[in-house]
Amino acid sequence: MEKSEADGPGIRVASVAGRWVVLTTVLGSSMAMLDSTVINVALPRIGKDFGTDLAALQWTVNAYMLTLAGLILLGGALGDRYGRRRVFVIGVVWFALASLLCGIAPNAFVLIAARALQGVGGALLTPGSLALIQASFHPDDRARAVGLWSGFGGVGAAVGPFVGGWLVDGPGWRWVFLLNLPLAAVCLPVALRHVPESRDPYAHGRFDVLGAALGALALALVTYALIEAPGLGASPVVIGAAAGGVLLGVAFVRVERRRTYPMLPPSVFASRQFTTVNIVTLCVYAALGGYFFLSAIQLQVVAGYSALGAGTALLPTTVLMLLFSARSGELGQRIGPRIPLTAGPLIAATGMLLMLRVGPGSSSVRGYLTDVLPAVAVLGVGLVTLVAPLTATVLASVDTGRAGLASGINNAAARAAGLIAVAALPLLAGMGPEAYQDAGEFAAAFRRAMPMCAGLLVVGALIAWSTVRTPHSAVRDTARPECTVNCGVAAPPLEPAPEAARQADDP
């Protein structure tokens, strides 16, 4: 069963077919999102078992984020060319096998390498999940479908600390990764049987492998410099890596401007709304990446929670997202994105500042109710307000034929932001290589780090308030028949129709 781009999507969310598509895409994306947060609760135990320092724990998180951020656009391009369901299924299988390797890793080096392989699988399945939604649903139901995908996918990320804690305190941290095997076993047959295949017949030309390599290497070198700086200082290795990363980043921009089929077409940033929403995304997900990395360790090392206790303490965020994210997407569609994208980061920033109350006395029932619960509940309200409207605004800010490309760029921006935050925050907050083993040292650094994360959210809110506008109408591609997704790099760059571009940028 295969849909042509010209046929137009027609599945309704309330139909049986629509529920199967949502289930499949949520399961697939949740595997990737779950592993980006579930690892945080397991980090202290991994560090103890392998006898590693903080840098190794940062790489355990960032190896995954690095390959995911660097290859996600290329993964979307493969789906557009060879079939989105096909590439999605390959990504699920790849991710499951890499998860198995993580689960049996004998040392930190193998674990980090396996995490990098996980990121490759995530780069194949993550853009495919949203692309399948865009390709399958009726235009009138896309906002609700995206809201469900964002909400339940966000729950997959938020539930990670709870599930991870339960597994770490129970069968062991290795089951944090082995959990993906049964999820893949459910996702694969459902995808093959119930999800229609789709592809972009306009996708052609060469894949931008050079652009993907330059982007990934630039991120890798900058990340290496930031992670190793606390231990090595301003050594030639650190300075050389930082300089090399910057130079490769410049080369990446130059290559993308000159290639016929670039991975990151510069013309897509002609939409002011698209550009500014991605800047907001960078601020928001940098803050969230730093928060999730540090708060799980703070609860265990400083407050004295078990891994399960730390995960349970963060559960209210999950519950709020589960209950209200879909409605938030619909509300954002009615009132426009400006208010949610302004209020959401400010509310989340308040939650992060409330985390400063968490300390040695916060593990009691009273301490949880007065210190932890207000922080995670307020953060959850902020994420509910923000996440679904952010995704919908990205898709609405470009012509329909570029929706997949837009979502891929936004995904890459979010992952890259989290990657840099996890690498940079310990350096900026003054954490030493052994900080996570010393409650006093980590607590002091945590008190310096949370205001930095909150500040990023405030910056994102200010940018949203001053620049984000509600388009007068949905943006449509008038240059060719309506396409559901162009998730990648293979299709030639399309300039938005003048009227569509004006509407997207018109206050």
Walk along the chain (507 residues) and give the pLDDT tens digit of each residue. 555 444 444 677 667 777 788 888 888 877 877 776 678 888 888 988 898 888 888 899 889 988 888 888 888 778 877 888 888 899 999 999 999 999 999 999 999 999 999 999 988 887 777 777 777 777 767 677 777 776 676 666 666 677 778 888 888 889 989 988 998 998 888 888 877 777 666 666 677 788 888 888 998 999 989 888 877 777 888 899 999 999 999 999 888 888 877 878 888 888 888 889 999 999 999 999 899 889 988 999 999 898 888 888 888 887 787 777 777 777 777 788 888 999 999 999 999 999 999 988 888 888 899 999 999 999 999 998 888 888 778 877 777 666 667 777 888 888 889 889 988 888 898 887 778 888 888 899 999 999 999 999 999 999 999 988 775 544 333 333 333 333 333 222 223 333 333 333 333
pLDDT recorded at residue 485: 32
| DSSP label of 503 | H
- Its sign, for the CA torsion 34, 40, 282, 384, is positive
The CA distances from residue 271 to 196, 368, 399, in Å, are 31, 45, 10
| DSSP label of 278 | H
Integer Rg of the chain from CA: 21
Backbone φ and ψ for 492, nearest 5 degrees, come out as -65, 145
The CA distances from residue 437 to 52, 234, 431, in Å, are 10, 24, 11
Q: Shortest CA distance to 287 belongs to which of 202, 194, 414?
A: 414
Largest CA distance in the chain: 62
The CA distances from residue 62 to 58, 271, 281, 290, in Å, are 6, 31, 18, 12
pLDDT recorded at residue 200: 66
pLDDT recorded at residue 125: 84
Q: Shortest CA distance to 100 belongs to which of 34, 179, 164?
A: 179
pLDDT recorded at residue 7: 46
Looking up tokens 């390498």 gives: 113
pLDDT recorded at residue 97: 95
Cα 329 from Cα 384, distance rounded (Å): 9
Residue 402 contacts residue 486 (beta carbons within 8 Å): yes
Backbone φ and ψ for 503, nearest 5 degrees, come out as -65, -35
Cα 404 from Cα 253, distance rounded (Å): 21
- Half-sphere exposure of 494 toward its Cβ, with a 13 Å CA cutoff? 30
- Half-sphere exposure of 421 toward its Cβ, with a 13 Å CA cutoff? 29
pLDDT recorded at residue 30: 77
Residue 202 contacts residue 480 (beta carbons within 8 Å): yes
pTM score, whole prediction: 0.78
Cα 228 from Cα 245, distance rounded (Å): 14
Q: What are the DSSP calls for 28-90, one per residue?
A: HHHHHHHHHHHHHHHHHHHHHHHT--HHHHHHHHHHHHHHHHHHHHHHHHHHHHH-HHHHHHH
pLDDT recorded at residue 480: 32
Cα 3 from Cα 6, distance rounded (Å): 8
Residue 231 contacts residue 55 (beta carbons within 8 Å): yes
